[in-house]
Structures are given as C-alpha cells and as structure tokens.
Amino acid sequence: MNKVVSNAQEAINNIQSGATIMLGGFGLNGIPENCIAALVEKGITNLTCISNNAGVDDFGLGLLLQKKQIKKMISSYVGENAEFERQLLQGELEVDLIPQGTLATRIQMAAMGIPAFYTPAGYGTEVAVGKEVRNFNGKPYLMELALHADFAIVKAWKGDTMGNLAFRKTTRNFSTSMAKAGNITIAEVEELVQPGDINPDDVHVAGIYVHRIFQGSHYEKRIEKRTVRMI
Amino acid sequence: MNKVVSNAQEAINNIQSGATIMLGGFGLNGIPENCIAALVEKGITNLTCISNNAGVDDFGLGLLLQKKQIKKMISSYVGENAEFERQLLQGELEVDLIPQGTLATRIQMAAMGIPAFYTPAGYGTEVAVGKEVRNFNGKPYLMELALHADFAIVKAWKGDTMGNLAFRKTTRNFSTSMAKAGNITIAEVEELVQPGDINPDDVHVAGIYVHRIFQGSHYEKRIEKRTVRMI
Amino acid sequence: MALDKYGIAKRIAQELQDGMYVNLGIGIPTLVANYVPQSITVIFQSENGILGMGPYPTEAEVDADLINAGKETVTLIKGAALFDSAESFAMIRAGKIDLTVLGAMEVSENGDIANWKIPGKMVKGMGGAMDLVASAKNIIVAMMHTNPKGESKLLPVCTLPITGLCCVKKIITDLAVLEITADGFLLKEKAPGVSVDEIKSKTLGKLICPPNVPDIQI
Amino acid sequence: MALDKYGIAKRIAQELQDGMYVNLGIGIPTLVANYVPQSITVIFQSENGILGMGPYPTEAEVDADLINAGKETVTLIKGAALFDSAESFAMIRAGKIDLTVLGAMEVSENGDIANWKIPGKMVKGMGGAMDLVASAKNIIVAMMHTNPKGESKLLPVCTLPITGLCCVKKIITDLAVLEITADGFLLKEKAPGVSVDEIKSKTLGKLICPPNVPDIQI
C-alpha cells in the first residue's frame, strides 16, 4: 500500500482536460493551495469545478479562472472575483448555483452511496424548476441527486501515510465530504505523519477514501476578511 | 443554559409509558447502563425501543425485557437472549428487523432533517415488501424513511456541561446518530467536564443536540465475547 | 426617529433567550451578537461549521484556519464545537437552530422572503439562505423598511425571485416591529417618534394597526 | 481430501492484494485474517466502526470499549480509524470496500445469496448482511459445499429467503473454488484428491467443468 506521492505535480498527474473536480475549502479557508498551483501549471482546460466559492482574482480558484481553465463552476456563492463576473457576463463560463446545504448534502450523499434524497431547501423557488416535489408529513420537499466527481482535491492539517486525515478549526467545511465523495481523492496536508500519530478517535476522514497524499509546502493561508477587535 | 442533571432518575424523569426511545450501543458496547437501570426502576411499560441489538438476558435491554417493559423492538440483530426469544415466540413482543446500514442511516437522516432517501440494501428481499423501488443509473433502490424517536439515550466517554460529547473506540456505533436524532436527547458520560476541556476539533456530537447530561457511575462495561490471544 | 442599524440590532437582541442556538446572517444580523444581555447564554452557529462562535479576534488571536460564514476571522467560546458543512446544514435542516436572523430585499405579507437575486444584476448565489429559510423554526428579518429608492420592502407579494415561502415570523426594521399573521403584517411596536401613518405609507402589504402601538424600547 | 475451515480460509487469503480494504463476516471468513501474506498490507473493516482492525488482544490489552461486529474484543493496528455505524455503512454502500467475504446457507447459479433466515426457526435478523451484499464490488462466499444433511448449497435458485440478488462473484467451499458466470457455476479449482464427479454430484445448480481443473494450492 503506497498512497504517498512526492508533490502536487505527481498527485494531479493523471487529471485531464474536461475532468470534473471537487475542491475543498470555504472562501479561501482550507483550500488546496499546492494542487491549485499545479493545475494552473499543468494548463489543462474545460474543467468543471465543484467548490462552494470561486476564490478571489489572484488566489484560490481565481488563478484557474484567470487562465480560462474552468468551463463550469458548481457553487453556492461566487463573485468575490471580477474576472469571474467578466467571464460569466461574456458567456465564457457556465455557473450552476446550488443552495449551500443542498450542495454540501449532495456531495455527502455521493460519499454515502445514496443516489437521491429529499430536502425542503429551494421549494417554491427557481431552484425547484424541473425537480420532483414530494410531500412528507404534510411538508413539501425537493428530490435532489448525489453529486459525484472524477477527482476530489482537499487540504487537511495532518494526514498519515495510510491516508487518514485530521482538520483544524473551520477548514473541515466541504473538504471532508468531498474527500469521501471523489472517485479519486487527493489530499495535501500541512504535516504528513506516520500511522498511529493521529488518534483513531480523532480521524475526520478515514484513509479508505484517500488515494494520494503528500505534504504540501509554502502555505499562504490568505485571509479574505481580516476582522479584529481592539481588546 | 443548564443541561446538567444530577443522575439517571432525573434525566429520564419525563419519559412515560408508550414512549419511543432510541438507545445507543452495539451489543453491550457503549450502552447507557445508568439510564437503562433507571428505566427498569421507574417501571414504565409499552416502550418501543430502537436499538441495534436487544442486550443479553441479564444485562442491557435484557433487563427491560425481563420486566416486560418493551412492547416493540426495532433492531437489526437480536436473540443473544433467551427471554427475548420466549416473548417473541409467545407473541408478547413485536420485532421490526431492519438491515443494519438502513437502520443506522434512517436514524442519521432523521438527524439531518431528510425525510426519505434511497438505498440498495434489501432490494429483491422480503425487506422490500411494500416499499417504493426506483432506478438510478440503472440500479434499483428502495425508498426508506427517516426514523425518529421521542427520546434518544446515549452513553459517551466525556461530555461537557454544554452537552458536547466525545466517544472512545467503537462506542460511537449508533450513539452519535441517535444523539442527533432524538426529539429529546439524554447523554450519560463517564466523565463530565467543563466547557473547553474537549478540543472543539474532536467533538463527536455537538451540544446543540443534547438536552440533558449527567456523569454516570458504576459502569460495568460487560464484555459479550472476551476473545484473547496468547502472545 | 427611525432606528439606525445598531438600534435594529439592539431590538433584535431582546428576542434572545437563555440557551438559544442562533444563526445570524451577514450585515445587520451580525451586529446582534454585540448586544446579548449579560444574564443569558446564547450560542451562535456559523454555517461553515461552528457552534459557539465568539467575537472577532485580537490581532494576536487571528487564525487563518478559523473564519465565519461571512469569511471574517473569528474566535471560539469555551465549549465550542466544530464540524463540516454537511453537518452544519444537517442541524439547520433538522430544525435544531432556535432563531435565525436574516437580511432581506423584500418580505411579503404571508411571510415569503426574497433576498438573493435581482434580475439583470450579477447573481452571486444564494449561499445558505434557502436552506436556512426552508427549515428554521423562527426567522426574524432585519432590514430597512424601504429600499434606497424609498419603496416599501413589505409587500403584498414579493416581486423579486423568492428565497423561501411562508417562513418569516417577525420583521424588525428601522421604523417598526411587525409580526406575520394570517391577516398580514401586524404592527407590534414602532420606532420612537415615528408615526403610525408614516409606517402605513411605507408598507405596501396589508398592515394591521392595533389602537395603541407601543414604542420600541432599546 | 476436502478442505477444513482453515483450508478454506487459507485459499481465500490468496485473493487478497496489497492495499485492499476487506470486510470479513462471522465464522470462516474471520479466519482469513490469520493468513494474510507477510508481503502485503490489507486493512480490515468491521462494520461497527473500525478500519484497521488488528488481532485479538492479549489479556492485558483487552478493552471493553473496543469490539468488532461479532462483539469480540479486538485491537487496532497503527493507522486505524474509528467512526460510527452510519459512516461505516456509508463507506460500504458507496463501494469503498474492495472485498467482502461472507458465509452463506445457499447460493444460486446467478449469484443470489441466502444467509439470514430459515422459515420456522427463530429469526435473529440480517445484521449488516443485506447492506454488504447490495453494495460490495467483490463478494466471495466461504461455506461448506453441502449442508449438514448432505444437500447441495449451490442451487439453481435459492429456496431460503434471500439476502441479495446477483451479487456473489466467487465461492470457496471445502471442495472447490467456483466463479459465478452468466452460464452458471464455473469450476475453477478443486480440493486435492476430490473428484470432479463428487463436485458435480454435490452441486445442484448448473455447473461448468472445464477439461482440466487444477487442484487448490494452499
């Protein structure tokens, strides 16, 4: 069993143009910085990216947008990003906007082998157009489908060589569900440790879900809105 | 905010005869020993108990069975228990057997506010009788409904006064999902600690789900099958 | 005089009760956290995965790994719990959040809310708003009574694309506190010095005015 | 000579490959863990919430909080992960387990399996068997070729209530290794000293016998 690769280039080596990729993170929080840089460098195009947000102009998925590598974004909230807006208005970019909880849960359901489920979110709105509506206990729900991807790319705090991952603070966000949902899952970690170094009770993503893992480097961890108090 | 009660008697005080109760544990592993004893003492009857197993003759849910307090069991595997078998064969006890993964997931879906989902487990078997079958990507699935309960009773390793729970080893089993699914959730813990004593990254059940919590006592933690190796 | 955004936040804070789990939206709702009465404990949820969100960090406490749903750096209170987005929306969907405070562009007299999209403008997305309004037990809208053009935001029916149906329970604006009832907007309180006639003139939806409308006390 | 249960387990262990995640059922399948080749790493899942199940504990290692799905005390290997039942069956349902080894009462020539219920006898429940067979990519059945009455357990169609449809890929019995094919049971290997005629006589379902059937090597 060898899941450890040496770097981001090797980890993403077999991702081709046209692939569907889930990328963990919320805003710029907990994004796979090394793999995004490697995807930019590799220059593959026509990507469908599933990510809650689309980064900012010069960081995160914004870097892939700048190079016009993304064909379609599947997100819940976008537009902290002028280039994104330009491409969207020019018709160069497709966007599929999904309620955040529905997005998170569709990914989770893919991870759980559940093809469809019912949620009340979006009932009666334009999100419901074309979807099956069904009543349970007198309340209407929409049927939503599991959301799968060829690849999931996530960034964790610690990971061991068997692929077990542990996250820090709010960086879990979409990353844990995506890591479990990807057909192939790539994890970059701040610290690659040995089996046994993560307490089995505290593993957030079990190694079974992770196919390739490496210790990333030069994490910038840019803060989108640095808010501080005086005392 | 005060979720702390002094003992099991106080915790289960408002559970009445006829209630539906989820009880955490797998076999005798991680069962809420203190609350089960209090339910026996209280003597309420006609209970519907949702629990993966039904204990053994003289421990776990077997204690409630002995006193004929249980009207119906909803489980995936039963019968390590002669009294259970006797009551079942005599028609004194109803049993609803559900595939273990379906049981776990129906409880999880109740915790998630999802009224129904699709699973392949049981398709083509007698479990499928009367259930909606639906094809997704060419594979048949059964529609299954969320499983709710008036009360969930679980036992955790550590819990803080705000209701956050952490479990040890395999005691998580059904307990985490049940704790999140109960209309009222009662947690007994081996060690009741102060807020901040459990690392927020390592909380298994967030306090929002837990309504009453107390430090239990005299845990026997009986082992069902003590298997050892020589070296 | 009409309330400012801080006044609206202070009035909303009076809705808080000890032990409540509360989700605050971006904008005015966020300010509510500053006015929690000292005597009670309220737990704030942030839908990116926090229960027990604390105040903004000091410069020394800033942690890039810890932000709220508005992408601002925050802190945790003692007894906080962290989880992923799927779990966060699971607890929202299951109705575990006691109170949700949201901004809105429009609210209709039956409690529909529109707060995510303006046709013709760049659409940024609904984020978690549709999930919150579809499942929250108790939704309070915090907003100005009129839009920048002076047009009422309390309407017979929403004109903008809606976020959710029949979900708002109460509206707290710069001018008034109103409840959604089967008969329309019920005026419960008015800003000190604001006349009922002014509120009537700025409320396009059906407004029910009891004989005596007390002043908002903040 | 027919294999004993240890022989069956040894033969199944030959199916293991480096890096596989494997779920072993109760009974003969559990024994397979004892015969993993030294040269490879196999991770055992237990559906009550373990990835990386180790051997039984020594007396000193016994921990009441750590059991397997058979309710036996076990240990963890380094790099194990623990989780709850919902997560455990999520990974099973999502097809993350590479190999599942189960016992069976009957298998039909199209791969249906019956292993949970005998009409007229006390029904203990299906446990996790229906979930496993509905989703596992690769299911091997470990069982005796005949039941205690000497009747074939490899049938044209199952007579007992089934656990899952068209799911078994391979069967390893005391007499033979067989694959499920579109045309029935394909005899791949036979126990040393057992004749093809004996296997034929004890297989009620359609059996395909190639000209040369090699001996099981263990």
DSSP string spanning D164-203? BSS-EEEEE-SSEEEEEETTEEEEEEE-TT--HHHHHHT-
Spans of chain A below 70 pLDDT: none
Collect contacts of D192-199 with beta carbons under 8 A, ≥24 apart: D192/D1, D192/D216, D193/D1, D194/D1, D194/D2, D199/D145, D199/D175
User: DSSP strand E in chain B: where?
Assistant: 20-23, 47-50, 70-75, 94-97, 116-119, 133-136, 139-145, 149-160, 165-166, 182-193, 212-215
As a whole-number percent, the residues of chain B with pLDDT over 90 amount to 95
Q: Which residues of D touch B97 (CB under 8 A)?
A: 123, 125-126
Tell me the sheet residues that pair with B153.
B23, B186
For C204, the token pair is 């396009």
Compute the distance between CA of residue C153 and CA of residue C113 in angstroms, rounded to an integer.
10
Query: Over the stretch A167-218, which tens digit does the pLDDT of each residue have?
Result: 999 999 999 999 999 999 999 999 999 999 999 999 999 999 999 999 999 9
Tell if the CB–CB gap between B118 and A114 is shorter than 8 Å: yes
Query: Over the stretch B133-188, which tens digit does the pLDDT of each residue have?
Result: 999 999 999 999 999 999 999 999 999 999 999 999 999 999 999 999 999 999 99
Tell if the CB–CB gap between D81 and A207 is shorter than 8 Å: yes
Give residue B230's pLDDT band: very low, low, confident or very high (50, 70, 90).
Answer: confident
**Tokens 């262990």 -> residue:** D13
CB pairs under 8 A between A and C: 169
Compute the distance between CA of residue C171 and CA of residue A11 in angstroms, rounded to an integer.
51
D47 noted as active-site residue: yes
Q: How many helices (H) and strands (E) does chain B have?
A: 6, 11
Q: Which residues in chain C (122-181) have CB-CB distances under 8 A to chain B?
A: 135
For C14, the token pair is 């009076």
Compute the distance between CA of residue B178 and CA of residue B173 in angstroms, rounded to an integer.
10
Contact criterion met (CB below 8 Å) for D128 and D139:
no
Is the ipTM reported for this complex over the cut 0.90? Answer: yes
D27 vs B75, residue with greater confidence: B75
Selecting among C47, C87, C151, C189, the annotated active-site residue is: C47
* Stretch (H or E) spanning B180: helix B175-181
Contact criterion met (CB below 8 Å) for D90 and A112:
yes
Contact criterion met (CB below 8 Å) for B8 and B214:
yes
A84 interfaces chain B, CB cutoff of 8 Å: no
* Most A-contacting residue of D74, D83, D85, D88 (CB-CB within 10 A), to test interface: D83
Tell if the CB–CB gap between A112 and D94 is shorter than 8 Å: yes
What's the pLDDT score for residue B80? 81
Which among A124, A157, A172 is the nearest to C84, CB-wise? A172
Contact criterion met (CB below 8 Å) for C169 and C111:
yes
Give residue B1's pLDDT band: very low, low, confident or very high (50, 70, 90).
Answer: confident
What residue in D sits closest to A146 (Cα-Cα)?
A: D94
What's the pLDDT score for residue B222? 97
CB pairs under 8 A between A and D: 65
Per-residue pLDDT, averaged over B84-91, amounts to: 90
Which among B114, B145, B202 is the nearest to A202, CB-wise? B202
Contact criterion met (CB below 8 Å) for D170 and D180:
yes
Instruction: State the SS3 of chain A.
Output: CCCECCCHHHHCCCCCCCCEEEECCECCECCCHHHHHHHHHHCCCCEEEECCCCCECCECCHHHHHCCCEEEEEECCCCCCHHHHHHHHCCCCEEEECCHHHHHHHHHHHHHCCCEEEECCCCCCHHHCCCCEEEECCEEEEEEECCCEEEEEEEEEEEECCCCEECCHHHHCCHHHHHHHEEEEEEEEEEEECCCCCCHHHCCECHHHCCEEEECCCCCCCCCECCCCCC
Average pLDDT across chain D, whole number: 97
Chains D and C touch each other (3 or more Cβ pairs < 8 A) = no
Selecting among D15, D47, D72, D106, the annotated active-site residue is: D47
Compute the distance between CA of residue B112 and CA of residue C107 in angstroms, rounded to an integer.
28
Kindly report whether the global pTM for this prediction surpasses the value 0.95: yes
The phi and psi torsions of D71 (rounded to 5 degrees) equal: 70, 20
Q: What is the DSSP letter of C59?
A: G
State how far residue B87 is from chain A, nearest Cα, in angstroms: 33
- Per-residue confidence in pLDDT tens, chain C, 218 aa: 899 999 999 999 999 999 999 999 988 999 999 999 999 999 999 999 999 999 999 999 999 999 999 999 999 999 999 999 999 999 999 999 999 999 999 999 999 999 999 998 888 999 999 999 999 999 999 999 999 999 999 999 999 999 999 999 999 999 999 999 999 999 999 999 999 999 999 999 999 999 999 999 98
**Tokens 């069904």 -> residue:** A134
* Most B-contacting residue of A102, A117, A170 (CB-CB within 10 A), to test interface: A117
Structural domains in chain B, sorted by start: 8-99+107-114+147-215 (3.40.1080.10)
Contact criterion met (CB below 8 Å) for B176 and B211:
no
Tell me the sheet residues that pair with A29.
A26
Compute the distance between CA of residue D7 and CA of residue D87 in angstroms, rounded to an integer.
33
Is a pLDDT exceeding 80 seen at residue B231?
no
User: DSSP strand E in chain D: where?
Assistant: 21-24, 43-46, 50-53, 76-82, 99-102, 106-108, 113-114, 139-142, 154-155, 168-172, 176-181, 184-190, 207-208
Torsion of CA C16, C22, C23, C28, to 10 degrees: 20
For residue D35, give the 3-state DSSP assignment.
helix
Contact criterion met (CB below 8 Å) for C164 and C102:
no
What's the pLDDT score for residue A81? 86
What's the pLDDT score for residue A47? 98
Torsion of CA D31, D33, D37, D43, to 10 degrees: 160
Compute the distance between CA of residue A6 and CA of residue C36 in angstroms, rounded to an integer.
50
Interior angle at CA B106, CA B104 and CA B107, nearest 5: 65
Q: What is the DSSP letter of D98?
A: S
What's the pLDDT score for residue C204? 98
Q: How many helices (H) and strands (E) does chain C have?
A: 5, 13
Q: What is the DSSP letter of C164?
A: B
Compute the distance between CA of residue B210 and CA of residue B181 in angstroms, rounded to an integer.
10
What's the pLDDT score for residue D185? 98
- Cα–Cα distances (Å) from D83 to A200, B204, C51, in that order, read 9, 9, 21
Angle between helices D85-93 and B100-112 (to 10 degrees): 110
Compute the distance between CA of residue D127 and CA of residue A157 in angstroms, rounded to an integer.
36
State how far residue B141 is from chain A, nearest Cα, in angstroms: 9
What's the pLDDT score for residue A41? 98
Compute the distance between CA of residue C12 and CA of residue C138 in angstroms, rounded to an integer.
13
Per-residue pLDDT, averaged over D108-126, amounts to: 94
Tell if the CB–CB gap between B170 and D135 is shorter than 8 Å: no
Question: Chain-centre distance of CA D193, in angstroms?
Answer: 24
Q: What is the DSSP letter of D32?
A: G
Which among D18, D81, D96 is the nearest to A200, CB-wise? D81
- Helix, strand, coil percentages, rounded to 5, for chain C: 20, 30, 55
Tell if the CB–CB gap between B196 and C79 is shorter than 8 Å: yes
Question: Chain-centre distance of CA A142, in angstroms?
Answer: 24
For B127, the token pair is 């479990």
Per-residue pLDDT, averaged over B70-83, amounts to: 92
* Residues sharing a CB contact under 8 Å with residue B49, sequence separation 6 or more, in sequence order: B20, B21, B22, B23, B61, B64, B70, B72, B73, B74
- Cα–Cα distances (Å) from B20 to A134, B69, D197, in that order, read 26, 12, 57
Query: Over the stretch C25-43, which tens digit does the pLDDT of each residue have?
Result: 988 999 999 999 999 999 9
C5 vs B81, residue with greater confidence: C5
Contact criterion met (CB below 8 Å) for A46 and A21:
no
Compute the distance between CA of residue B119 and CA of residue B136 in angstroms, rounded to an integer.
10
Q: C99-102 and C139-142: which strand pairing?
A: parallel
